[in-house]
Structure 1
């Protein structure tokens, strides 16, 4: 972001909801809606013609739809954060959104204060997944067949454990608290994970974790405490 103002593309086909959301977002001094789209194609096009810092995207858009719009936007501008805001909560939806490149997911009933926090968190490079999303991410790990043999997994058991928690939206401090290690140690492991997987950020690491089943499903159990490095 090049200024103190967060420039947002609002992609939402419900005119009344979009109006209310715009009015609420622009009550915040650091947020500005600079473009609006009513369909997927328009959303993709606007990211090419406007200086945008974050896309707030409804997945139920007409035309190519929100998921495909998300994929195309990230293909063109991999660094542009996308936060999905939707009323839909479907099986396997979250894994599809992660694969498309979304950094976060909120249901439309989210309190305004939490939505503002989600917007700012995603714009700062963090992920934001609500409880529904976390549950579906866990299911994606547990239900998909493994695509990689354990001996071919480049990650240590500790790195798998940390990646599982990263994929469910946990911050470094939350991971540290869960595993009883320091936040600094978590940062070192996350850096190693990104290097080994040859990805630039936590979201891409989460995508690979789901696509290639790099994480043992038992690491998604909060009671698991792996002590080996």
Structure 2
């Protein structure tokens, strides 16, 4: 079976490398090379590929915006992110958008070929080092949020995050549209509930459980 592929990346040298790599694989057919999001959307409409290889960082619209637009246009397409790195936020977006594989550009070319074959067969392929770190961070954050949600209110959690970001009481008050005195009341309650003494300890606590 021939696997029909469209590839999108803002860097022509990357597309050239992909073309050279895939042309040596008899079951992989590269139908189109695209340098921006608009071209990618047109190519998918024209070729109806089995797999889309796309970078996150794209000109005009990023890879995630392309995938959001493709959700209605071609929901059956399998997507592989071929990118320089992936962080926790990007991993979350990829999962929400149904990305089937992630391969980093620093990896051996053979990994991309293996990924494509696994993905078209219905499997998933996530690069372990970077994706693993992002996934671990995401899970830690979600576990920390569950832990603290049983102690603090949603407003207190929001305020804790702002304190951890280094905002002072006045800035927090402006951000939340409350008085500075109300901020102090909230902080006093948070310190009491968590058994902490000051905002430095609160920031350390928030970072330790992955809340920020």
TM bucket, shorter chain: 0.5 to 0.7
Contact 1:12/1:58 (8 A) holds in 2: yes
Q: TM-score, normalised on structure 1?
A: 0.59
Matched, 1:134 2:143: no
The one of 47, 51, 67 equivalent to 1:50 is: 47
Q: Is the CA contact 1:13–1:62 (under 8 Å) kept in the aligned structure 2?
A: yes
- SS of 1:92's equivalent in the other structure is helix
User: Which residue in the other structure is 1:115 paired with?
Assistant: 112
Picking from 102, 106, 112, the partner of 2:103 is 106
- 8 A contact 1:74–1:101 mirrored in 2: no
Match of 1:95 in 2: 92
Q: Which runs of 4+ in 1 moved over 4 A?
A: none
Kindly indicate whether the alpha-carbon contact (under 8 Å) linking 1:9 and 1:33 is maintained by their aligned counterparts in 2.
Answer: yes
Q: How far, CA to CA, are the matches of 1:73 and 1:124 in structure 2? A: 20
1:135 and 1:88 map into 2 onto residues whose CA distance is 11
Q: Which residue of 2 aligns with 1:8?
A: 5
Greater fraction of residues in helix? 2
Q: Which has the larger radius of gyration?
A: 2
RMSD over aligned CA atoms reads 1.7
Q: Do structure 1's residue 125 and structure 2's residue 122 form an aligned pair?
A: yes
> The residue matched to 2:80 in structure 1 has which SS?
strand
1:20 maps to 17
Cα shift at 1:30 = 0.3
Asked if the contact 1:104–1:128 (Cα under 8 Å) also holds between the matched residues in 2, the reply is: yes
Aligned mates of 2:122, 2:71 — CA distance in 1 = 14
Distance 1:69 1:21 in 2: 20
Query: 1:1-229 to 2 correspondence within 5 Å?
Result: 4-131=1-128, 132-144=130-142, 145-146=145-146
TM-score, normalized by length of structure 2?
A: 0.64
Aligned length: 144
Which ranges in structure 2 are unaligned for 5 or more consecutive residues?
Answer: 150-212
Residues 54 and 81 in structure 2, CA contact (< 8 A), matched pair in contact too: yes
> Are the aligned partners of 2:103 and 2:111 in contact in 1 as well (CA < 8 Å)?
no
Q: Give the drift of 1:101.
A: 2.1
Shift of the alpha carbon at 1:143? Answer: 0.6
**Equivalent-residue separation in structure 2 for 1:20 and 1:70 (angstroms):** 23
